[in-house]
Amino acid sequence: MIGIEKILAHIQSESDNECKAIEDSAAEENKRILAESKKAEQDEYRDLIDTGTKEAEQRIERLNSLAVLESKKRVLMTQQEMVAEAFNHAAKTILGLPEREYIQFLVKLACSASLTGSETVILSQSDLGRFGKEVLDASNSALSAAGKTASLTLSEKTADIGGGLILSGGDIEVNCSIEALLAEHKNELSPKIASVLFD
């Protein structure tokens, strides 16, 4: 009986040792799987953070680009408004000249625009009533002094213009209104005005 007990005790001991080895191996495997799982979670977390960060940076970059474009658009619009205001101011300045200087201005316009010396001078309603005849006489005198035909006539009709004049001769009409003169030189003068205002 003692032999059987020894054999059984030996088998039990080996079984215990084997169970312990299996438990230890399972515990190690469990640790390894948990470590791998944790690393995979951390890698996935890092990937999500990296992706989110890149998307946020791209969005910020797009928003910054849009903000810069909008800012440039507003600056350009403001500059265009200021240039337009400069032209309006120029027109008001011409119209606000002292009467003698304004008459001389109209005379110069009439003489420089006259091709035949026998056109009809058309003024604004305001200018015709104040000094139409004076402008006509001074223009004819200046043309005569320059050795040109001096037969300009004054129209009783008025032009719908703020200031300046229109010369009409046959089928040809030369618009020397202040508005037309400024519009004619707008492309040439706008960059110069802009450089004075904004440089």
* Cβ-contact 111, 147 below 8 angstroms: no
Quick check: helix, strand or coil at residue 97?
coil
In tens digits, the chain (199 residues) has pLDDT values of: 566 777 766 777 777 777 777 777 777 877 887 777 787 788 787 887 888 888 888 888 888 888 888 887 887 787 778 777 877 888 899 999 999 999 999 999 999 999 999 999 999 999 999 999 999 999 999 999 999 999 999 999 999 999 999 999 988 999 999 999 988 878 777 777 767 666 6
Alpha carbon 97 to chain centroid, angstroms: 35
Q: Please enumerate in sequence order all residues whose Cβ is within 8 A of that of 68, keeping only pairs 6 or more positions apart, or say none.
A: none
Quick check: helix, strand or coil at residue 116?
coil
Tokens of residue 169, six digits: 């001769």
Q: How far apart are CA 7 and CA 15, in angstroms?
A: 12
Q: Please enumerate in sequence order all residues whose Cβ is within 8 A of that of 197, keeping only pairs 6 or more positions apart, or say none.
A: 79, 82, 83, 86
* Phi, then psi, of 33 in degrees rounded to 5: -65, -40
Quick check: helix, strand or coil at residue 171?
coil
Note the pLDDT tens digit of each residue in 85-114. Answer: 877 888 899 999 999 999 999 999 999 999
